[in-house]
Structure 1
Amino acid sequence: LRPFEITTPEGERNCIFPSQQTITSGEYPLARRMLLTTTQRSLERSEVAEFLLYYLKNAEDDATRARLVSVPAADIEVQKAWVTGDSEPVFVELDPEPVVTTDEQPSTSLQPAR
Structure 2
Amino acid sequence: MIEIKTLAQIKTIIANGETCVINLTANWCSDCTDQAENLNVFSEVLAKQKTPCYTIAVQDEKNIYLSAEHQVFTELFGGHGFPRTVLMVNGKNVDADNVEIISSIQLNELAQKFIAQL
Same fold (TM over 0.5): no
Report which of the two has the higher share of strand: 2
Tell me the TM-score normalised to structure 2 length. Answer: 0.30
Higher relative contact order (CA 8 A, sep 6+): 2
Tell me the TM-score normalised to structure 1 length. Answer: 0.31
